[in-house]
Structure 1
Amino acid sequence: MNIDNLNWKILKCLQQNARQSNAEIGRQVGVSSPAVSERIKKMEDLGVIQGYNTLISPFEIGYQLKAIITMRAFMGKLKPFLEKVKTYDEIVNCYRITGDENFVMEVVLKNQKHLELFIDQLIVYGETKTQIVLSHVVKQKELKPII
């Protein structure tokens, strides 16, 4: 899909606040609410807009730790892990990557004991390395047009 300047303006508005009305977006970008609605629907249908999320603070709902865990899968354990990884509630993001490791996982945990028990589940699939997250320096940034 060719994303024109108007679509980028609409996407910028949605990235800043996806709950604002089409009328409000229309006022910001200079078109009618139906025009905004039509463009948003088209971008959803084409997969440009993949969804809308509510961001929840894990710390405010009881999690005490956030960690990044990298894993190098053992021979023969890659495919089983690809199925199993989807079942872990602790994993909020998982990426299959290139390099020495196969996966990078962002996890939330209740405490250190929970971390220990979770790592015990992972080590049957591969070698893990864990880093505790101290703070979130860059949050989900809005995407900008490719020039």
Structure 2
Amino acid sequence: MKIDSLNWQILKCLQENARMTNVEIGRRIGVSSPAVAERIKKMEDAEIIQSYKTLISPFAAGYQLKAIITLRAFMGMLKPFLEKVKTYDEVINCYRITGNENIVMEVVLKNQSHLEKFIDQLIVYGETKTQIVLSHVVNHNAVKPLK
């Protein structure tokens, strides 16, 4: 499915607020509410729109640390880790990557003690490197049209 200018505008509205009504989206981009609904349905069917989510502030929810942890899996431990990582509540994003490390994770933790216990669980699977996130500089979770 081709994503034209109107579809990009609809996606931008939904990324700003997934609860925005079709009427409001239509008003913003200059098309009718039924046209917006039809375009959204087509993008859902084509799996361009995969889900609608609620974003939660980890800090407001009591998680005082955010960290980026990379893992270089021990021989034979990558597949077991890929299954286990899905069970960790601390992991908010996990990617399999190229390079010296196999995995990069974004995690939220309550405090330093929680971080230590979490790393103790990971070192069974491989060598870890941890960086503490100090601040959030850019948030480009939204997909944008390329120029």
Same fold (TM over 0.5): yes
1:1-147 mapped onto 2 (5 Å cutoff): 1-147=1-147
Residue by residue over 1:105-140, the C-alpha shift from the partner in whole angstroms, topping out at 9 and shown as x without a partner, is 000111111100000000000000000000011113
Distance 1:143 1:90 in 2: 25
Q: Report the CA distance between 1:146 and its aligned residue.
A: 2.6
Q: Deviations over 1:52-103 (max 9, x none)?
A: 1111111111111110000000000011001001000000000000001000
- Give runs of ≥4 in structure 1 deviating > 6 Å: none
Distance in 2 separating the partners of 1:106 and 1:15: 21
Opposite residue 87 of structure 2, the aligned amino acid is T
**Shift, 1:37, TM fit:** 0.6
Please give the secondary structure, in 2, of the residue aligned with 1:61.
coil
Q: Secondary structure at the residue paired with 2:60?
A: helix
Give the CA deviation at 1:141.
4.2
In the aligned structure 1, how far is the partner of 2:126 from the partner of 2:33? 52
Q: Which consecutive residues of structure 1, in runs of 5 or more, have no partner in the other structure?
A: none
Q: How many residues align?
A: 147
**Unaligned ranges ≥5, structure 2:** none
- TM-score after normalising by structure 1: 0.96
TM-score (norm 2): 0.96
RMSD, aligned CA: 1.0
